[in-house]
Structure 1
């Protein structure tokens, strides 16, 4: 009996999701082209469950539909029984895997929402004084343009410092500081400078756990006109 050919069925499913070739399917699902060939040849029972899961996700069809579409053997009833053929056992394992995958996805989504809520709440607590006082301060500044800005700065600066400290973010150097030029940490805004030469910080930069977030923007002291 010749081997069944499921190539056309697979191509029809690929066309529905905009995949034009078996190589593209291989890359999208992160499975080998040999595994895809097995699917086309009806050798589903020789394929690993994780491979079938990846293909079902990319093709956007349930795992049990993958089995029903590319299976060479069919079960005689609606249930999966352990005493059935080897393929029905595979089908049962696939359905169980799909259910476990869906449960894990739901749990991850719920965990993600909880973590996001906790993150937002902790951030809002750190920014509490800014949230409560800034609108009033801004309104007063609009009513009285001569209001000294120095009185408003702490409303922004202190909550921001608390937030950065909580996140482990460190300032590379304060604005106005004159420091040795380090091209790994500093970005020249104008002129040029050699490593070690004195530069003045115009815009501060930030590190987080020794990882560079933003380089400090600096200017050579010899060309500073401020």
Structure 2
């Protein structure tokens, strides 16, 4: 009977592994940092003997919820809460609260770091904008150094321009958006508004215009 359960649960675990391209328990152990002994508890349906952190690691890699792991690999019904399950539930709630606090802490740290980079801009830009409003003849070039902290911040985030304003480049509809007229891929266009990407992810396409408007 126990061997049958072992085989059934092992097969179900292997199915989940195959869905994410994991071919062996050794590989699963290596990628999750969970020992093969702990994985054996899972295969035997002994989830009550496993810590929540361990189940979270496994569920994250297998792309299933912790609740789904419980339903699939527990030998008892979830509704029939044993002492071990009650302890597991308490541990799970504790971990969830810990993760929430960590997310808040990381967000606060991220915001604080960003504000430090933007400090000079935050202090000087309102004054400069007000001066430009009161004196329309103020050369705009004098405001450019104040924008430098913003440029530094987006550079730290790995954001880079696709093309620069005024540049003439071959049209690529994947990265460029026509503002007027029409153009075939490879035809020269002029950049009107800069586009951006972050690593391989496209954030905003550059807005361009053809060099000659076709009727």
Q: Common fold, TM-score beyond 0.5?
A: yes
Q: Which 4+ stretches in 1 moved above 4 angstroms? A: 51-54
Distance apart, 1:91 and its partner CA? 1.3
The answer to whether residue 189 in structure 2 is matched with residue 199 in structure 1 is: yes
Name the counterpart of 1:77.
none
1:72-151 pair list within 5 angstroms: 90-151=81-142
Name the counterpart of 1:175.
165
Residue of structure 1 aligned with 2:178, choices 184, 188, 193? 188
Aligned to 2:93, the other structure's residue is in SS state helix
Structure 2's unaligned 5+ residue stretches are: 1-44, 49-66, 72-77
Name the counterpart of 1:11.
none
Kept after mapping to 2: 8 A contact 1:53/1:98: no
Distance apart, 1:206 and its partner CA? 0.6
Q: Distance in 1 between matches of 2:200 and 2:69?
A: 42
Q: How well do the aligned residues superpose, as a CA RMSD in angstroms? A: 2.3
Distance apart, 1:53 and its partner CA? 7.0
Quick check: which has more Rg, 1 or 2?
A: 1
Aligned to 1:202, the other structure's residue is in SS state strand
Name the counterpart of 2:4.
none
Name the counterpart of 2:146.
155
Task: Note the alpha carbon deviations across 1:68-103, whole angstroms, 9 max, x for none.
Answer: xxx5xxxxxxxxxxxxxxxxxx51122112111111
Q: Distance in 2 between matches of 1:167 and 1:188?
A: 27
TM-score (norm 2): 0.61
Kept after mapping to 1: 8 A contact 2:182/2:213: no
Kept after mapping to 2: 8 A contact 1:173/1:205: yes
Q: Distance in 2 between matches of 1:183 and 1:101?
A: 48
Name the counterpart of 1:81.
none
Aligned to 2:172, the other structure's residue is in SS state coil
The answer to whether residue 191 in structure 2 is matched with residue 217 in structure 1 is: no
Distance apart, 1:148 and its partner CA? 1.7
Task: Note the alpha carbon deviations across 1:117-173, whole angstroms, 9 max, x for none.
Answer: 1110111112111111101112212222221222113212x1121011100011000
Aligned to 1:187, the other structure's residue is in SS state strand
